[in-house]
Structure 1
Amino acid sequence: MREIFSYKGLFWLPENPDDKVSGTLSFSPEDGITLELIGFLGSRRSSAQLFETKIINGFSTNGKKLSLFKCYESNRTASYPGIETSIIQANYLFVGANFINEDEICFNKVAIKLKNLDSWLGISGFDIQYNQAEHSTNIYYKLPQPIEFKINSGYKAKFEFISSGPSISIYTRKASIEQSVYLILEPLDKTDRHFKELLKQTHTFQMFITFATFTASFPLEIIFYSPRYFIEFDSKKIPEEIQLYYTTSIKPKNKEIFHWDLLFSYQDIEKNFKVIINNWYTQHDKINSILGLFLVNFYNPGIFNVNRFLNIAQALETFHRRFKKNNVLPKNQHKERLKTIINSVDKKFKEWLKQKLSFSNEPTLKERIDELLKDYSNQTIQKLIKDFDNFSKLVKDSRNYYTHYDKSLEKKAAKGEDLYYLTERMKVLLTCCLLNVIGFDNNLIQELLKRNKYRLYNHLY
């Protein structure tokens, strides 16, 4: 997913396999998928009619099957005399198979290598022993056993380790062994699923790793498998690896992260991992929008601005709306109260008043923050937020001001450095809320916050 490459070959439309056009297919994570053709695909069109199609197939000069999905022509040139050329962009590129239609882009297994998954797992097959007296180093490596678990969204999963060993030669002066780990997902019913459904499942886990590490995680490699795609060798059917590539706007940090950089590691939750990961998938529909507002800080780091504060304020409000009682009075009582109020006004104002009072039974933002502080407080939060009432009032006034820029609230809103520190404290509260709903007990949450004090929260003390 992060490499840059190109293929030369022949390309054609699935419905017209005999009409092949030569071209060069290029991929880079930033620029995406570009197919430059010497000629054009499909029937002749006017220059105003740029070409769109779901699938373009190809076969490279080095024997690779290629399939582009969701394609559109971005440019076409023609000169007389001369040769017509066409440039096509695509959203997805599959290397290892050709498809006739979208219904064929289905698989029953996906293997994904994620940035920081290995650091989060913290499992190594190496045993290195130094002997200074003999000036010797013994390196013993044993491949770790897979870690298997089930996901209650209908998948079995495992962390599978692979390693590449050194070449053996009497002239060897350098040897290396590299260990990698993949997340493997397979539907429990063993049926093929659309590739986007499989990506959705892996993306849910990717967000889990981002939350756990407080660092952006993203796919380094995505491989699909299906019994329909195989290579025959020595009377055996070997599964074909079908690799997926697509554009990503993420600018990765190459810095390696370590155990002490993480919010929590696999070792922290090993005994309870299966419960926690299933809670994550079970609650994902509820927390997905919250995570989108929270984790954007790790995918798009940069200078602090008002939008970062508003994102966290909205995330806290949404969390309360999803996981706490969202009404002040019981519904029947509120309904009676509304009826009394609306019946007391002139008929021409009734409809207007109904609209104005449509959210009148919901807690205010201050009331929501007050309840979250009450329910998810711990020693760290109590140290970071000395006065709960003033804190929730400041969050409310600042949110209202930066949403509407009402002059009457300007003096009440936090600004500059104060707004930054207010946001950072809100992030600690949100972290505790999320940890709680996926199964972390209060003692472990406090232990993790205390351990991460110097890396994540020291600037708030």
Structure 2
Amino acid sequence: MRIKEEWKKSGYFWLPHSEDKKIPGTLSILDGGKIELEVVGLFDESIEALNGNDDLSRIIGHIEKDGLVTLEDCFYKTKNIAFGGISKSLVYVRKVISGVAYEQDEKAIFNTVSFTVEGINEWVGITGINVVHSDDFKTATISYDPQEELIYNLRSGFKLHIFFGYTLPGCGDTTEARITHQTYFKLSSEVARDFSEFSKIVHQVTYLLCFALDSTVTISDVCATCNDITIEISEGNIRPANIKLYYQSLPFSEDLPNLDKHKMLFRFSDIRENAEQVFNKWLSTYSIIRPSIGLYFSAVSGDHKYLDGKFLALAQGLETYHRRTSTETLMDVAEFRSMVASLLWNCPKSRRKWLKGRVLYGNEINLGQRIKRVINPYKSYIGNSKQRTKFVRSVVNTRNYLTHYSEELEKDSAKASELWVLCQKMEAVFQLHLLQQLEFKESDIQRILSNNYKLKQKLDEI
């Protein structure tokens, strides 16, 4: 997750069952969500703890400005023991729940989790800010109309909300009037759930934004509420307390995304009429082709420092995609099993285990056939028959060389600019298939190709 400003706060920390033993420390959250707690001393100085039997599954703290915090899934990264002096130890923390202190065995469950994603304002494209200039542009009238929340039912039992936060100028004399507008996602559940159930959907929705924006974007400003944890806002009026959450999430890029509406594959306005269907289709598709989606995003997010690694991720991703979406085999399954049984029966007993391992996946089509099937729906975008054959052969030869590094394959593998072109085309084919999975019509894909120069450029590379 994105941490926009330095987050480092001092306080006192203790174990839930040892509130009388509080030790000073400093809690730090780095950009990306990495969390560290530096403490003076140790939480437990018993013989068992000194021998490594520490239970730091939950730590409670009271820090400056934020008040009570609960630190989840903790363990010592470095443990220093002082013999008469002062020592500092470093604790790794997986998640910070800010604003509440849970008991040792109390479950941290929530009814809502809200978050924003880089680029969500541009992607949704809905704003309540209106600016009207006079004819001579010497005066302007600025107004704000609060936007209605959009709510979609997910098949998982959650509801996905798109809502809009805003701030208005204060009253009185001023030399500056400022209106801010921010778009957020919110997941809600009538039944309180563990955060892991929320974070799974948050992760998948974020990757949908990455795909739509064609850029690696990161979440920030994660807040939760639980109907059982409330605060009094006025006499007799209560509301669920806002609980801030910090954790290390993917996707994440150290560099801020450079967003351009002309580079986006699609915007919210393109799916607004059937947004609920698209959101649910993405979540169901993600569960089926999750490994291939993971490989695709690892390739396009810059995780691979070298082009070889990006190519291998895309090649494996396309192969896995076809494997997850097709049951095609070389021959009828019953016929293949009969043939294997006959081979094993006639094979010497001492070699049957070896032979079984050799023929176990013998009915699967090879990489070349899978790549050919994958590009077939979009073959007109790859070129003529000769160009498509060259593309498939180049993908297979390069994958085989980079996997086995056989000298015989080196001369037929793509290198330098040719390898880069292969990656561009494979990436574009992946994007076209994911659009198809979201049930974009052929006319919609044609429109995207005509309006999105980045995608068109990937396919036009020679």
Give the alignment's TM-score, normalised by structure 2: 0.91
**1:367 match: secondary structure:** helix
**8 Å Cα contact 1:114-1:219 kept in structure 2:** yes
Q: Kindly indicate whether residue 91 of structure 2 is the aligned counterpart of residue 121 of structure 1.
A: no
Q: Which residue of 1 aligns with 2:437?
A: 437
Q: Which residue of 1 aligns with 2:256?
A: 254
Q: Kindly indicate whether residue 243 of structure 2 is the aligned counterpart of residue 242 of structure 1.
A: yes
**1:160 match: secondary structure:** strand
Within 2, Cα distance between the matches of 1:134 and 1:421?
49
**8 Å Cα contact 1:94-1:244 kept in structure 2:** yes
**8 Å Cα contact 1:113-1:222 kept in structure 2:** yes
What's the CA shift string for 1:17-64, capped at 9, x where partnerless?
222223332222258323233332123348664845101101224461
Q: How far off its partner does 1:168 sit?
A: 2.3
Q: Which residue of 2 aligns with 1:18?
A: 20
For residue 228 of structure 2, what is the amino acid of its counterpart? R
Within 1, Cα distance between the matches of 2:91 and 2:121?
37
Within 1, Cα distance between the matches of 2:237 and 2:379?
59
Match of 2:146 among 143, 151, 159: 143
What's the CA shift string for 1:208-228, capped at 9, x where partnerless?
000111111211111111012
Within 2, Cα distance between the matches of 1:9 and 1:158?
35
Q: How far off its partner does 1:449 sit?
A: 2.0
For residue 15 of structure 2, what is the amino acid of its counterpart? L
Worse overlay, 137-146 or 94-103: 94-103
Q: Which residue of 1 aligns with 2:352?
A: 350
Matched ranges for 1:371-386 at <5 A: 371-374=373-376, 376-377=377-378, 379-382=380-383
Q: What percent identity do the matched residue pairs reach?
A: 24
Q: How far off its partner does 1:379 sit?
A: 4.5
**8 Å Cα contact 2:319-2:370 kept in structure 1:** yes
Residues 213 and 205 (structure 1 numbering): CA distance in 2 closer, same or farther, change over 3 Å? same
What's the CA shift string for 1:150-205, capped at 9, x where partnerless?
111211111010101122222x1112111111111112xx1111111111111110
Q: Which residue of 2 aligns with 1:425?
A: 425
Q: Kindly indicate whether residue 392 of structure 2 is the aligned counterpart of residue 369 of structure 1.
A: no
For residue 153 of structure 1, what is the amino acid of its counterpart? S
Residues 63 and 301 (structure 1 numbering): CA distance in 2 closer, same or farther, change over 3 Å? closer
Match of 1:111 among 109, 114, 128: 114
Within 1, Cα distance between the matches of 2:304 and 2:371?
27
Match of 2:133 among 118, 130, 133: 130
Residues 81 and 413 (structure 1 numbering): CA distance in 2 closer, same or farther, change over 3 Å? closer
For residue 75 of structure 1, what is the amino acid of its counterpart? T
Q: Which residue of 1 aligns with 2:96?
A: 93
Within 1, Cα distance between the matches of 2:423 and 2:257?
26
Q: How far off its partner does 1:88 sit?
A: 2.2
**8 Å Cα contact 2:11-2:24 kept in structure 1:** yes
Residues 344 and 236 (structure 1 numbering): CA distance in 2 closer, same or farther, change over 3 Å? same
Within 1, Cα distance between the matches of 2:263 and 2:147?
23
RMSD (Å) for aligned C-alpha atoms: 2.4
For residue 169 of structure 2, what is the amino acid of its counterpart? P
Residues 83 and 214 (structure 1 numbering): CA distance in 2 closer, same or farther, change over 3 Å? same
Q: How far off its partner does 1:378 sit?
A: 5.8
Residues 34 and 348 (structure 1 numbering): CA distance in 2 closer, same or farther, change over 3 Å? closer
Q: How far off its partner does 1:85 sit?
A: 3.8
**8 Å Cα contact 1:380-1:450 kept in structure 2:** no
Match of 2:69 among 60, 66, 83: 66
**1:108 match: secondary structure:** strand
Give the count of matched residue pairs. 456
Residues 146 and 258 (structure 1 numbering): CA distance in 2 closer, same or farther, change over 3 Å? farther
Q: Which residue of 1 aligns with 2:271?
A: 269
Within 1, Cα distance between the matches of 2:229 and 2:29?
23
Within 1, Cα distance between the matches of 2:143 and 2:329?
61
**8 Å Cα contact 2:223-2:245 kept in structure 1:** yes
**1:322 match: secondary structure:** helix
Residues 159 and 330 (structure 1 numbering): CA distance in 2 closer, same or farther, change over 3 Å? same
**8 Å Cα contact 1:380-1:449 kept in structure 2:** no
**2:411 match: secondary structure:** helix
For residue 203 of structure 1, what is the amino acid of its counterpart? H
Give the alignment's TM-score, normalised by structure 1: 0.92
Gapped regions of structure 1 (runs ≥ 5): none
**1:291 match: secondary structure:** helix
For residue 275 of structure 1, what is the amino acid of its counterpart? Q
For residue 237 of structure 1, what is the amino acid of its counterpart? I
Within 2, Cα distance between the matches of 1:162 and 1:7?
27
Worse overlay, 431-440 or 130-139: 130-139
**8 Å Cα contact 2:216-2:253 kept in structure 1:** no
Within 2, Cα distance between the matches of 1:23 and 1:347?
66
Residues 371 and 248 (structure 1 numbering): CA distance in 2 closer, same or farther, change over 3 Å? closer
Q: Which residue of 1 aligns with 2:217?
A: 217
Within 2, Cα distance between the matches of 1:373 and 1:63?
53
Within 2, Cα distance between the matches of 1:129 and 1:331?
69
Matched ranges for 1:30-69 at <5 A: 32-45=34-47, 49=52, 51-62=54-65, 64-69=67-72
**1:19 match: secondary structure:** coil
Q: How far off its partner does 1:323 sit?
A: 0.7
Within 1, Cα distance between the matches of 2:188 and 2:53?
39
Within 2, Cα distance between the matches of 1:31 and 1:213?
22
Within 1, Cα distance between the matches of 2:90 and 2:51?
14
**1:107 match: secondary structure:** strand
Within 1, Cα distance between the matches of 2:324 and 2:256?
36
Within 1, Cα distance between the matches of 2:393 and 2:7?
54
Q: How far off its partner does 1:274 sit?
A: 1.6
**8 Å Cα contact 1:304-1:420 kept in structure 2:** no
**1:128 match: secondary structure:** strand
Q: How far off its partner does 1:81 sit?
A: 4.7
Worse overlay, 434-443 or 16-25: 16-25
Q: Which residue of 2 aligns with 1:315?
A: 317
